[in-house]
Amino acid sequence: MVGWVYFKPKRSAANVTFEYRKKKTLQKRKKSLLLLLSFYLCAQKYTRARKDKTNDNSDQRADFNKHPFLPWIQLQNRYQEILTDPSYAGQFVLFTCPHIGNVGINQLDMESTKVHMGATLVRHHALNVSNYRSTQTLDSYLKEQGVIGISDIDTRAITVRLREKGSLNGVVTTDMSISDDDLLKMSKGYDIVGKDLIGEVCVKEPYKWVDPTVGEWEFAEKAKNNKDKFNVVCFDFGIKNNIMRRLASFGCELTVVPANYSAEDVMKLNPDGILFSNGPGDPSAAPYAVENCKKLLGKVPVFGICMGHQVLGQAFGGKTFKMKFGHHGGNHPVRNEFTQSVEISAQNHNFAVDLDSLPKEVKVSHLNLDDGTCAGMVWEEKMAMTIQYHPEASPGPHDSDNCFAQFVDMIRANKGMAVSR
């Protein structure tokens, strides 16, 4: 079965090796860490991959060797949204909040159709669920998705090491025959730089999205009062459902297209505006996305979120770089450089736009107050705006939700209509 693996210090353990572990720990093979892994995953995942149903155990075990890199998240009440956020593809996620799973899982809060991260690491997995909207437990959901979960580990100690060293690579395996040295080699051999993860998570064919935020959860007066309709094309780099809900709430009728959809085909859809969405990985590994941005700049208003911000940054003529930690979590302060107001934002990215590489026509609209990195850009002549964080954050914070209204106002202005503000 797949699901939670409980770390019991006095028991023996299988191999779970991270670079943060001390050398003396690596020298002692603890033989019981992954007690609950995983004939279920073998039967479900491996059998789907190989229909001949071979009995070669080495091949089956190799399917469990997970070695993404590891960020940490300081959130309690949006673990479901994090699990289903495509931007976490290629990563393990360590939750610093000690109690995860207490509100269960419900179908309405999904950000996509499946879990994209490689593994979920928590201090304590809540066995009891208390939430009227819950339809299943976190444990059962991870089993259903074929995703590893590990609990009863010292997440604070790991966080301190990550804070000192930056995001680290890790390996989770059920193969007892692999030595610690080999596990370390696997871990060190993984590099998110240069990986095009967008192609792994985006849709393959265009589709329509029409559902706005459900009425009982709508909080923005501009969205409630909107009567107009606009045709917006969304490039799917790993788009979250709530981004589409928020755009729909502000009057946008959405066509979602694959990341490699050509600029020419996009313009045939007669868009009033174009969104470049969030997504995982390195923007430099997706030159096709950058080229599409370049071709579309100046034709209609465009809005880039997270990965879309980075891709547009390169399309503007700027450069991006890999950050030591990245930004992950729901409490990042961002300053609007036009108004000097500060927003608390939700963020999840490992790359940033180099401020010094941007052309003079591009204005930096937002700065991250933790490290001074670029958090937003505006190129007025090209009708382009970007932000490096998540204005749609669910269940919050909602400080940046007005970005959707600003994007719609750009569309209104381009069509000669009165703006809402």
For the annotated catalytic residues, the residue numbers are 306, 390, 392
**Which residues, at least 6 apart from 235, have a Cβ–Cβ distance to it below 8 Å?**
257, 258, 259, 261, 266, 274, 275, 276, 277, 289, 292, 308
Element (H, E) at 315: helix 307-315
400 vs 392: CA distance, rounded Å:
8
* Side chain identity at residue 203, one-letter code: V
33 vs 63: CA distance, rounded Å:
18
Q: What is the DSSP string of 385-401?
A: EEESSBTT-SS---TTT
- Inter-helix orientation angle 287-296/307-315, to 10°: 70
CB contact at 8 A, 357 and 347 = no
CB contact at 8 A, 13 and 32 = yes
Q: What is the DSSP string of 113-138?
A: SS--SSEEE-SEE-SS---TT--B-H
32 vs 391: CA distance, rounded Å:
42
Q: Which two tokens stand for residue 339?
A: 């108004």
Element (H, E) at 365: strand 363-368
Could you tell me whether strands 207-209 and 124-125 are parallel, antiparallel, or unpaired per DSSP bridges? unpaired
Q: In angstroms, what CA-CA distances link 114 with 88, 110, 314?
A: 11, 8, 30
